[in-house]
Amino acid sequence: MLFNSFVFLLAFLPAALLLHAAAERYRPQWRLPVLAGLSFVFYAWWDWRFLPLLLGSIAINWGVARVLPRDRTGWLFPAAIAGNLAVLAAFKYLGFFTDLANLIPALDLQRVDLVLPLGISFFTFHHIMYLTDLKAGRAPSFGLTRYALYIAFFPQVLAGPLVRWSEIMHQFEGRPYARPDAAERIGRGLMLLTVGLAKKVFLGDPLAAYANPVFQAAAAGKTITVAEAWQGTLGFTFQIYFDFSGYTDMALGLALLFGIVLPQNFDVPYRATSLRDFWRRWHMTLSRFLRDYLYIAMGGNRRGLAIQVAALFATMTLGGLWHGAGLTFVAWGAAHGVGLGAGVLWRRAGGRMPQVLGWALTALFVILTWVLFRATSFEAALAMYKGLLGFAPTGTGFKWRTILMAAAVAMIGPTAWAAIHRLPPNRWLALAFAVVFVVVLLKIGNDANYEFIYFQF
């Protein structure tokens, strides 16, 4: 079920809070099993057929984790990682790899597309992070209930943030409603949930109406005018930010309601003054995963400049492939790999740049590469680039009001997490947020209810 749906906001969430609060007060030992059970219900609501996949994934990886510290053969860890990646590849990349294989002359393999289980990329990466740290001696063993909750905790199971075991496991032991700041945490959680919903409903979804028709026209082979190209590209630039950061704000707020603090995932990324700075601010938990489990494993910056640049390129290309089974995603990741490599060479050469110029170049690069991320094919991307670069009719009717509002909110900041924690407890403030929440519910009831973009990854 979607966070921005009536069934979640008005039925599942109140019921979950009541059950969790009852368990925490009267049977504290039941709190984690109740949370895990609620998480499985939440996951199964979308499509119950994929619940066995999640349960099986948890059971098998937990079993591997129990045996791994005593394994002396050396094959269990690589087999477990390969198995997790094979399941991900089967569901997400089977059709893509079939298309690549069919590029070989005389091959004519039948394309098989499986339905993509929600959250499979995210819970697969959680398994990999934990098993890798366990193998390295950085992680202890955990019981099945705690491990299951780490993987399936419903605020973050579908689209993150990517949470390391060390950031959350210790929080499962507490009595969240017995803390002296419990009421404040609940209040700030509700505020974060409201802000995230507002970002999604009032900015992300309207921007989708700006961007989607343009990219659909490009995919259909139509000529895209200059005005349409910039409207669609800028619309998507801010749509994906408010869609995903809004989801993250909701996830962080929901987790607070259950006594859990999740890591932040965004830090005003469109204020970045370099591409490296951008990736330290955008989808921060994924950036840390790519850095610690891919880039460093490939050598990082410890084996010379050539290895560093190659590792950056390979890491970002794989990061692009993770986002979607298509060559446009690969090209998007590769472009960022090239950009990050160029930044390394620039800094090694002692290059300096005014911050304003660095921001302008970074913003332009990010905006232009979003076209590859959103376009369904290279032909569609080319049609968009022709419009963006002026090789198309000028066109009219550029819709700018929501884009300008979104740009101002995205650029000025601060993050929702920082803003909410700066606000003092106040009854009038609580009333204002309650009014906003009601307005959001009315908006959800009247308009199209868009799925979150990152659910497809």
Low-confidence spans in the chain with pLDDT less than 50: none
pTM score: 0.92
Expressed in angstroms, the distance from the first to the final Cα of the chain is 16
Q: In the numeric block, which tokens belong to residue 247?
A: 């989801």
Active-site residue, selected from the candidate residues 20, 126, 283, 323:
323
Supply the pLDDT for residue 450: 63
pLDDT in the model for residue 373: 96
Give CA–CA dist 186/446, Å, rounded: 28
Give the integer Cα–Cα distance in Å for 456 and 219: 19
Per-residue pLDDT tens over the stretch 82-93: 999 999 999 888
Confidence (pLDDT) at 114: 77
Say if CB 367 and CB 233 are below 8 A apart.
yes
pLDDT of residue 289: 94
- pLDDT score of 447: 60
Tokens of 427: 């009854």
Q: How many residues does the chain have?
A: 457
The pLDDT, as a whole number, for residue 231 is 97
Q: Catalytic: 323? A: yes
Interval 429-457: pLDDT, tens: 999 999 999 999 888 876 656 667 766 66
